[in-house]
Structures are given as C-alpha cells and as structure tokens.
Amino acid sequence: MLVDSHVNLHGESFADDLDQVIARAREAGVVRMITICCELKDFPAVSAIAERYDDIWCTIGAHPHHAKDRPDITADELIELAQHPRVVGIGETGLDFHYGYSPEADQVASFRAHIEAARRSDLPLVIHTREADAMMGDILEEEMGKGAIRPLLHCYTSGPELARRGAKLGAYFAASGIITFKKADDVRAVFREIAPDDRIIIETDCPYLAPVPHRGKRNEPSFLPAVADGLAAIKDWSREECETRTTEAFFNLFDRVTRP
C-alpha cells in the first residue's frame, strides 16, 4: 500500500489518458493521491479531479513561480477556497530563486499568506524551496514562533542545514524520484542521516522527475514503487517497512484524507 503525496494531474500531460493513468496507479498499489494546485486560476480544474476520483484529494495554493500573479493574496482568501471538501493542504507555496520567475518580495509575501492560512486552518503546508535555504529556514522559524504550522518540505533537494532546521521544527520530508538519480548523493545523505524516520513520505511529482528505471519518460503515479525502492535502499528498510512507515507518516500529516 503506497500513497503519492504530490501529483500534478490537471495539465496537458494527462489530458488524453487520465483514467488510464489512475488505473495504472491503482494496479501498482497506490491507494491515495494528492493533486497539487500551483496556480490559483487552476483550482477549479484541480478540485474537479479530486471530485471525480474518490481516492484523490487536492490542495489550494500558488507556486512561488506564480507569486507575481497574485502577490496580494490573503490568508482569508486561501482559507475560503480551502473550505472545498476535497482540500487537505495549503500550497504548493514557498521560495524559488533559481529562475527568478517572480520577484523575491512577491514570493515572500505570498509565502507568508499561505503560512498564515495553514496555521489558521490547521492544514499541512506544502513547501517548495530551491536556492533559498537560509531565508526559508529563517521564515519558518519566525513563523513557527507565531503559532504552530505543519510544514512539508516536498521533493526535498536542499542542503543539510535547512534539513536540520526543518527537522527541529517538526517538518516532514518528501522523497521523490530524485533519490534514484545517479548524481543525487547529497539528497540521499539528507534522507539517510537527517530526515526523521517517522516524518518521511514519498511522491512522484508527476509528470516531472521520473525515477530510475523510468528516466526520460513522462512520470506518473504508477512509478511510485520505484521511489519507495530507492528510499528503502537508503534507509536500509525492507520494501514492506518502507511502505508501512511512509504511509503511516502520510496519514499522520494529511489527517483529513480518509484511510483505505
């Protein structure tokens, strides 16, 4: 029994065969999925998928790349959208200074609004962070001081220092197909040595980042077993132990998702 904590199903990549993609995921043992909202304008499409399939839930949020589209978004607006019965998380949100698609100020403003929404709604906060380790750590520590939040550092590829700071704050860590990549020793080290065993979950982040042995293909939830195998090898867990630990951690975090 596996759970894919981060899929992107509403775009063009799955427009022609979504039913078949979901069927293959179920056949591979994936019993629950969360489809992620990355742009506020896409929420109707994202939530429609969660309404259509009874084993899929969704989030509401704006990726830092799109922070410039609504830098004035408020926690009240996000909380209102989060009243949808299939919403189980706030995000994906965060900081990404690699491409600079949105100005830093807009990213920070949007991120803080999402944090406030997550705090007030008591929903998990799905965080994307890239080339922003120090600022991400500072903001999370500052915001945690204002009141508890439940952060998930999704598709974790940042450095060990942010991982240590996040772990102290009670953050969860999501491993993606990147842990199977040949040159990802630094990422594997974080999951081996820093990420707490009871706060690690797995994801595909499909259609991106297909794990070995599927590299070069469109990623999909049915590839999640390869991520589980990669994590199990890192942690010296059996496949069964990996499934049990990551699934239990998922339901501990996303406690509004019903168990099978």
Any domain includes 92 = yes
- Greatest Cα pair distance, the chain, in angstroms, is 47
Its domain, for residue 173, covers: 2-253
Confidence (pLDDT) at 177: 98
CATH number of the domain bearing residue 49: 3.20.20.140
Confidence (pLDDT) at 162: 98
For the segment 40-53, what is each residue's pLDDT rounded down to a tens digit?
Answer: 999 999 999 999 99
Q: Is the separation of the CB atoms in 191 and 234 below 8 Å?
A: yes
Confidence (pLDDT) at 88: 98
Strand pairing partners for 58?
35, 87
For the segment 84-138, what is each residue's pLDDT rounded down to a tens digit?
Answer: 999 999 999 999 999 989 999 999 999 999 999 999 999 999 999 999 999 999 9
pLDDT, average across residues 148-171: 98
Any domain includes 259 = no
Confidence (pLDDT) at 126: 98
Confidence (pLDDT) at 111: 98
Any domain includes 54 = yes
Confidence (pLDDT) at 246: 98
Band of residue 35 on the pLDDT scale cut at 50, 70, 90: very high
For the segment 50-64, what is each residue's pLDDT rounded down to a tens digit?
Answer: 999 999 999 999 999
Any domain includes 23 = yes
Distance, CA of 42 to chain centre: 17
Q: Cα–Cα distances in Å, from 252 out to 103, 177, 212?
A: 34, 22, 28
pLDDT, average across residues 235-258: 98
Q: Is the separation of the CB atoms in 106 and 135 below 8 Å?
A: no
Confidence (pLDDT) at 130: 97
Any domain includes 7 = yes
Band of residue 196 on the pLDDT scale cut at 50, 70, 90: very high
Confidence (pLDDT) at 222: 98
Any domain includes 247 = yes
Any domain includes 260 = no
Confidence (pLDDT) at 231: 98
Any domain includes 258 = no
Residue 71 to residue 64: CA distance in whole angstroms: 10
Supply the mean pLDDT for the chain: 97
Provide the token pair at 106: 């807009």
Confidence (pLDDT) at 175: 98
Grouping H, G, I as helix, E, B as strand and the rest as coil, residue 144 is helix
Task: Pick the closest to residue 24 from 176, 203, 220, 214 (CA basis).
Answer: 220
Number of domains composing the chain: 1
Band of residue 172 on the pLDDT scale cut at 50, 70, 90: very high
